[in-house]
Amino acid sequence: MGAPTATSLYEQVSACIDTDRLVRLVQEVSRIPSVLGEEGALAAHLAEVMRESGFAGVELQPVLPERPNAIGHVDFGDAPEQGPTVVLTGHMDTKPVSHGWTKTEPFSGELIDGAIYGHGIMDMKAALVCQIVAIEALRASGLPVNGRVAMAAVSDHMGDQLGSIEYFKDRSADYCILGELSDNEIFLGHRGRYYFDIIVRGVSAHTCHKPLAVNANMLAAHAIIELDKSALRPQLEDWVVELFGPETYMAPGRVYGGLPPGGPSMIPDECVIRVDCRPQPGVTIEQVRAEIDACLARAAESEPRFQAEVVLADVKSGYLASPEAPVTGLMRRAVEAVRGQEPDLQVAGWLGDTASFGQDIPTIIFGPGGEPVYCPDEHLPVEDIIEATRVYATFCAMALAGSEQA
């Protein structure tokens, strides 16, 4: 008999996916609120699901108080330590609930016309369940594969990505799938995020003494206009520009100046502009800082009293897997086996947890759901949930069968 093909592996693992359980579990997690800072209940539920399923090493890994990761793994073959390790991962935290729901409640998990409704179902509660059920399907298939498939549902993605950082601090992997929403397409990576704080100084005074003051908010307005006009196009490799576009996006996203409403009044001597920059992979902090400095120089030309301090407040790197990387090749063949046609390679504009671990762990991004997200009546078709589970299971089967066999 010849070695198994990607198609034969797909057929065997796909036949073992318990779709009724898949739908039920997605509904269950959709009913558990997990807004950033409140991930504990969802983590406990996912850990219990894995524990009852017979996963090994199931634990609530401490990250932040009452905000753990939910982790576990399944070993395959007689010598799993001699085979590859695959990590399936995604975040539990969501943004706050959107207003305007009409079809059902945000945490109903209701099945309506072939789709499951729930706040955060696309980002990315459904993918977490798809990953667990995919591991179960591979185990149920009885395929003669060797290695380990680990599950890591992490907290704090929308904070400082501390969940992913904690999980991969002492762990490595040969392959990883980040289940961020990609519309079940293959994403090679995403832009990064640099935060710069522009601290603008003026001179304070009571409003009655306006001639003595230099309003920091007024000074900051000159900088905001120049920063908003920025259109930085750094020199990048052609294939990176083709994927992401030529512009490094930069915007003055938040402004803090003056005293809050309801209190005393005075002309402020400080205003802080938080500049949100989304660089393509390969764009350096120095390149962005030079663009900011140029914008501020133009602000000073229009208003000679302008002066400011620039502080680098946060750095999250972009991520980009090579189209020729083994992890990319495995995912391309997995999707092709499931879908029957060769998939495209795309990238995302948002920031993934790969900003914190992708430089060390070969990772591909693939998950159900797409834009727009965090909108009223957020829902996900069951057929997309099933397809994502098939892809995850096929990828894991191929990886543990050995790439030369798949």
pLDDT at 406 over 50: no
β-strands 111-112, 115-117 pairing: antiparallel
Q: What is the pLDDT of residues 239-294, one digit of tens each?
A: 999 999 999 999 999 999 988 888 788 999 999 999 999 999 999 999 999 999 99
Lowest mean pLDDT among 14-23, 104-113, 260-269, 343-352: 260-269
The reported pLDDT for the residue numbered 405 is 44
Confidence of residue 371 (pLDDT cuts 50, 70, 90): confident
The Cα 401–Cα 7 span in angstroms is: 13
Judge whether residue 35 has pLDDT over 90: yes
Orientation of helix 19-30 relative to helix 40-53, angle to 10°: 160
Q: What is the pTM of this model?
A: 0.93
Q: Residue 332 corresponds to which tokens in the numbers above?
A: 């391309």
Same fold, 6-190+318-405 and 193-316: no
Q: Whose CA is closest to 200, among 256, 254, 253, 251? A: 256
Residues near 117 by beta carbon (within 8 Å), at least 6 away in sequence? 30, 103, 104, 108, 109, 110, 111, 377, 378, 379
How high is the pLDDT of residue 262? 81
Assign 403 a pLDDT band (cuts: 50, 70, 90).
low
Which region holds residue 240: left if phi is over 0, alpha if psi is between -120 and 50, else beta? alpha
Share of the chain above pLDDT 90, in %: 95
pLDDT of residue 264: 82
Please provide the CATH number assigned to the domain covering 6-190+318-405: 3.40.630.10
**pLDDT tops 70 at residue 186:** yes
Q: What is the spatial distance between Cα 333 and Cα 7, in angstroms, rounded to a whole number?
A: 9
**192: Cβ–Cβ under 8 A, 6 or more apart, which residues?**
278, 279, 280, 281, 283, 315, 316, 317, 318, 319, 351, 355
The full set of domain ranges for the chain reads: 6-190+318-405, 193-316
User: How many CB atoms lie under 10 A from the CB of residue 106?
Assistant: 21
Residue 2 pLDDT class (50, 70, 90 cuts): low
pLDDT of 135 higher than 70: yes
Query: Domain 193-316, CATH 3.30.70.360 — does that match?
Result: yes
